[in-house]
Amino acid sequence: MSILLQVLVFVLIALSVALVIGIPVVLASPGQWDKLKNLIYGSGAAWSALVIFIGVFNSFVS
């Protein structure tokens, strides 16, 4: 169970880094927001769900 939690936290960190780098690049690129806004919103929703899931899962691991 602990290994799964570590993998989930690693995925959260990787997604966070991707969003921190990717969102400003998309916003600075002309015309890219219209093409990629669904991807950005979906990634933000996945990040939020992952944070909540890790919090709930952590309460069962310890």
Looking at domain 2-61, its CATH class is mainly alpha
| Extents of the domains making up the chain | 2-61
| 3-state secondary structure string across the chain | CHHHHHHHHHHHHHHHHHHHHHHHHHHHCCCHHHHHHHHHHHHHHHHHHHHHHHHHHHHHHC
Q: How far apart are CA 49 and CA 3, in angstroms?
A: 19
Whether the full predicted model's pTM is greater than 0.75, yes or no, is yes
Q: How far is CA 50 from the centre of its chain?
A: 7
Give me the tens of pLDDT residue by residue for the chain, a chain 62 residues long.
Answer: 889 999 999 999 999 999 999 999 999 999 999 999 999 999 999 999 999 999 999 998 86
